[in-house]
Structure 1
Amino acid sequence: MPVVRCRDSNSQLGGILLTVLAWPSRVNAADNTYTSRLSTALELCGVIVIEFSIGRALFSSYDVLHVHWPEGVLKNGRGRINGLARILAVVGVLFVVRFVRRRKVVWTVHNLRPHDLDRRASLALLRVGLGFTVGGYIHLSSASAPILSKIITRSKQSLQAVIPIGRYSGEFFPSEPRETTRARHEIFGENPLVVFVGQVARYKGVLDLAQVVHASTNKELRLIIAGRCADRDYAQEIECIASADSRIQFNDERLGSTGFANLMQAADVVAYPYTSILNSASVLPPLETRTRVLAPRIGAIPEMSKTVGEDWIITYEQPLTGSAIDEALRTASLKGSPDLTALEWPKIGIDTKAFYLAVMNYQGENQA
């Protein structure tokens, strides 16, 4: 498996003009700012970034098609036939881009399957299409490369690079003091507060978190779960526990960035007890408010923990236990700041541009 280690400086790359068709670039910024921030970082080092459309993919001038969540089309359609049709369209576009238009395709491996979806035939077809067309794979951590090589064996013939998720600086600003938020949620004195913020889903283990807190003998412990849950049956299960335990609050509605920031700042620990995950940017925003994160030792999380500091992203072996929460709360009293230098966007932009150029110049088996 050819691996690119991006060590080029901006001065070496700045004069090289490059146009990238990003799928997506900024169209999804209201839900996920990752690609928007990446686009800005790329533009700062001389890359022209164009928002993807099928028309642009087939007729516009560009050097690289950068794909992020090709499996996302499955979330927009119902039924297996509909899903297969959507994946066929995606694969068709990829083949035209790669073999008719002779452009390079790069895929950032965010997920290897959609969360909470079982579309095996559609995913199998998509993986075949990606295997034949992608010339470069960007991994957000080294954890995904071995898994990918087993699922898409042809990926071994293409270039690979590890470029991490960038930090969330300047995105989450609390609108009130920490004590004000805690008082508004009736968290008084030294009550240890664990918070889950974000979209609530089964794979995120939120019900497990509520059950562990409910079983805890610590009468001072408090838990706030804040975020919209689209699965109404799952929401009802969480609500049943919350209604039976005054220590647990469940706010089943979507939060804005200010609400996010206020709760992250108010927490002693932000918990993301995923049952399964490959990559997760969710563990990074709390660090911007210097709040510790508790997450399982799976997927990219151990590597992210080592990058920012193991006393900032505190990991545990599954399943989640009360002891893991207690240990995280003890660590929360420590002083200091997380080390986010490896996650600065200018470096990520430079490394990504260097990888594009490496893919464009690579003459391996999957690059004909």
Structure 2
Amino acid sequence: MNVTHLPDFTRSNPYQQALVDSLNQKGVSATLASGYPIDSVYEIFKSNTDIIHFHWVSPYIQSKGKYSSLLKSRTFLFLQKIAKSLGYTIVWTVHNIGGHESQHKEIEYRTLQKFSTYCDHIIVHCRHAGKLLSSKIEADPTNVSVIPHGNYIYKYDNEVAKSEARSRFNFKPNETVFLHLGQIRRYKQVNKLIKSFDELSCGNDKLIIAGSVDEGVEFKSLNSILQSDDIQFEDRYIPDNELQYYFNACDVVVLPYRDILTSGSIIMAMGFKKPIIAPSIGCIPEDLAQQSELLYDPDETPLVEMMEKAKEIPNLKTIGQKNYDKIANRDWREIASDTIKSYKAAINNH
């Protein structure tokens, strides 16, 4: 069984490499392809592919302009039609239904609806995602499998003690430290986080914001960052070997997403035994059911209220341990086995 995964996002996301490595250990010949469309088509032919496994589809169909988005979408669908006529089996793992900053949602949803009809099988990471697929793009629910997101515990060092990690940032033991780590994009609402942090009642708090700022993000709260001694802001990519310092220095991770389905940042934070403040949307309520006290309805509960609540919880370490215990059970070998079952189902549906 030869499988080509598209597009190759391994430089910015460890998910695909973990899956491909585990599939190869199970006897599947799994490869990754980047470059579209020529390089990807070449890789598919070169590797004698049986199954084309798509992950993030938005790069193939999104563009800033409406007409260029239409052109990209139609080209993408035309290539799927050709692939099907040539006998390829198509599988799609839905990490997000549409792009986070898509400017043409209607075009995107219409394209995804048509694309889903070309898919021989679809994989989602939670039950809620399967329901969303049915409601938003009318995907056939009988053609969908739920395979949870695997853990990243194996990937990142986690040996630095809290005291050592805090000394790197000059934090005191009695300070409550909040962390937001990852590429800074509009849907992550970092401006809202900064505003909420400024509204906290006690001055014994610190906030770390670490990650490269994506194009198009405007910091309305830039003055708060520059003038505050309580906010540490690092506009850079944080290398893997430094992550443990950020996670082990903090008490709570804060991820105030505006729109999300599957969050790799949540998976990573769980692996570092961190409690997480996050909105109750997408797959988050299923991933973090064991710490529901830190989930909130963004339409009803202010973020600052959740941050205040986290400061009053005496057992944050226990909550973090629960998150770790849950994600530790998501072994990539089992995920690979379940993915192979989905491949077999796709071949049967072809």
Fold in common (TM above 0.5): yes
- Counterpart for residue 90 of structure 1: 76
Whether 2:126 is the aligned partner of 1:141: answer: yes
Whether 2:304 is the aligned partner of 1:322: answer: yes
2:213 to 202, 215, 229: 229
Instruction: Give the deviation of 1:218 after TM superposition.
Output: 1.0
Check whether the contact 1:58–1:101 (CA below 8 A) recurs between aligned residues: no
- For residues 11-63 of structure 1, the C-alpha deviation after alignment (integer angstroms, 9 at most, x for no partner) is xxxxxxx2212113xx4222011111111111111111133311344676332
- Counterpart for residue 260 of structure 2: 277
> Per the alignment, do residues 157 and 176 of structure 1 end up closer, same or farther by CA in structure 2, a change over 3 Å counting?
closer
- What CA distance in whole angstroms lies between the structure 1 residues aligned with 2:274 and 2:142? 39
- What CA distance in whole angstroms lies between the structure 2 residues aligned with 1:152 and 1:322? 35
- Counterpart for residue 240 of structure 2: 257
Check whether the contact 1:74–1:83 (CA below 8 A) recurs between aligned residues: yes
- What CA distance in whole angstroms lies between the structure 2 residues aligned with 1:305 and 1:176? 25
TM-score using structure 2 length: 0.88
Look up the equivalent residue of 1:170 and give its one-letter code: Y
Instruction: Give the deviation of 1:247 after TM superposition.
Output: 1.9
Which ranges in structure 2 are unaligned for 5 or more consecutive residues? Answer: 34-39
> Per the alignment, do residues 157 and 169 of structure 1 end up closer, same or farther by CA in structure 2, a change over 3 Å counting?
closer
- What CA distance in whole angstroms lies between the structure 2 residues aligned with 1:131 and 1:117? 19
Check whether the contact 1:213–1:322 (CA below 8 A) recurs between aligned residues: yes
Instruction: Give the deviation of 1:74 after TM superposition.
Output: 4.7
- Counterpart for residue 36 of structure 2: none
- For residues 209-251 of structure 1, the C-alpha deviation after alignment (integer angstroms, 9 at most, x for no partner) is 111110111110111111111246523x232222343322222
Look up the equivalent residue of 1:304 and give its one-letter code: D
The more displaced of 124-133 and 109-118 is: 124-133
Check whether the contact 2:125–2:148 (CA below 8 A) recurs between aligned residues: yes
**What aligned pairs does 1:151-190 form with structure 2 within 5 A after superposition?**
151-153=136-138, 155-156=139-140, 159-174=143-158, 176-190=160-174
1:206 to 190, 194, 203: 190
- What CA distance in whole angstroms lies between the structure 2 residues aligned with 1:86 and 1:113? 14
Look up the equivalent residue of 1:34 and give its one-letter code: Y
- Counterpart for residue 21 of structure 1: 4
Instruction: Give the deviation of 1:121 after TM superposition.
Output: 5.5
Considering only aligned residues, what root-mean-square deviation do their CA atoms show, in Å? 2.3
- What CA distance in whole angstroms lies between the structure 2 residues aligned with 1:59 and 1:256? 33
- For residues 260-287 of structure 1, the C-alpha deviation after alignment (integer angstroms, 9 at most, x for no partner) is 2210111101111111211111101122
- What CA distance in whole angstroms lies between the structure 2 residues aligned with 1:356 and 1:209? 41
Whether 2:279 is the aligned partner of 1:296: answer: yes
Instruction: Give the deviation of 1:169 after TM superposition.
Output: 1.8
> Per the alignment, do residues 134 and 333 of structure 1 end up closer, same or farther by CA in structure 2, a change over 3 Å counting?
closer
Whether 2:122 is the aligned partner of 1:150: answer: no
Whether 2:67 is the aligned partner of 1:81: answer: yes
Look up the equivalent residue of 1:90 and give its one-letter code: F
- What CA distance in whole angstroms lies between the structure 1 residues aligned with 2:181 and 2:221? 14
TM-score using structure 1 length: 0.84
1:54 to 27, 31, 41: 41
Look up the equivalent residue of 2:166 and give its one-letter code: R
Check whether the contact 1:20–1:63 (CA below 8 A) recurs between aligned residues: yes
- Counterpart for residue 97 of structure 2: 112
Check whether the contact 2:179–2:250 (CA below 8 A) recurs between aligned residues: yes
Determine helix, strand or coil for the equivalent of 1:82.
helix
> Per the alignment, do residues 182 and 238 of structure 1 end up closer, same or farther by CA in structure 2, a change over 3 Å counting?
farther
Question: Number of aligned pairs?
Answer: 337
- What CA distance in whole angstroms lies between the structure 2 residues aligned with 1:327 and 1:263? 22
The more displaced of 330-339 and 265-274 is: 330-339
Instruction: Give the deviation of 1:67 after TM superposition.
Output: 0.6
- What CA distance in whole angstroms lies between the structure 1 residues aligned with 2:108 and 2:223? 35
Determine helix, strand or coil for the equivalent of 2:238.
coil
1:247 to 230, 237, 242: 230
Look up the equivalent residue of 1:50 and give its one-letter code: T
Check whether the contact 1:71–1:126 (CA below 8 A) recurs between aligned residues: no
Check whether the contact 1:87–1:125 (CA below 8 A) recurs between aligned residues: no
- What CA distance in whole angstroms lies between the structure 1 residues aligned with 2:54 and 2:132? 19
